[in-house]
Structure 1
Amino acid sequence: MTALPADVALLVIDLQPDFMPGGALACEDGDALVSPIADLLAERRYRTVVATQDWHPADHASFASQHPGKLPFETILLHAQPQTLWPNHCVQGSQGAVLHPGVDWTVANLILRKGTRREVDSYSAFRENHGPDGTRPATGLAGWLHERGIREVHVCGLARDYCVLWSAQDAMKAGFRVKFHWELTRPVTEANDGMVREALAKAKIAVI
Structure 2
Amino acid sequence: MLGVVGLDLLPEAVEAAGAEVFGVPQALLLFVGGFLLAHLVERLLAVRQAAHGADRDERVPQVGLTAAAAMVGHSLMDGIALGAAFQIGGGMGATVALAVITHDFADGFNTYTITSLYGNARHKAVVMLVADALAPIVGAASTLFFSLPEELLGSYLGFFGGALLYLAAAEILPEAHHDHPARSTLACTVAGVAFIWLVVGLSH
Structure holding more strand per residue: 1
TM-score (norm 2): 0.29
TM-score (norm 1): 0.29
